[in-house]
A = this chain, B = another copy of it.
């Protein structure tokens, strides 16, 4: 029947959930589950709110303060990028976020004296990814770019 066939989408989701970046993100979120209320949830369920379809995206108004839950997810995402950087380079990369009430802002990750990642944030209200695969790809790319910066200036990252 319909359910018995593993669709390419499902296989893609599984591959996405197995990437080192998404594993960092899941670990980070589970670490905040002090009361064990998410123990029964699968990784896909835990990350469900990171996924926003194009239609959902369009429906989110970008006026007023961004939702605190969105800000929390944004913070988790960039902290997970930092964690992925640490896993691969051994250097701690700490994130700093500055945000206006209108959902514009900037996130910076630093290691030692090196800015390993600097990104302008826009439409934070609508922060999310279309698929798990896009979530995994975005985080993996950011971590990869940061690693490249560390490799270009190793002594600054250790300063």
Contacts and interface: CB of A to CB of B under 8 A. Distances in A.
Nearest to A107: B96
B106 A110 contact: no
A156 interface: yes
Does more than half of chain A's interface fall in helix, strand or loop, or is it mixed?
Answer: strand
Counted per complex, copies of this chain come to 2
Contacts of A110: 108, 110, 115, 118
Contact of A149 (B96, B97, B106, B113): B113
Interface residues of A, number: 15
Contacts of A96: 96, 98, 106, 108
Contacts of A149: 113
A81 to B, nearest CB: 16
A44 interface: no
Nearest to A118: B110
A153 interface: yes
A85 to B, nearest CB: 14
Contact of A97 (B98, B112, B153): B98
A138 interface: no
A114 interface: yes
Interface string A82-121: 0000000000000011100000001010101111001000
Interface of A: 96-98, 106, 108, 110, 112-115, 118, 149, 153, 156, 159
7 contacts: A110-B115, A113-B115, A113-B149, A113-B156, A114-B114, A153-B153, A153-B159
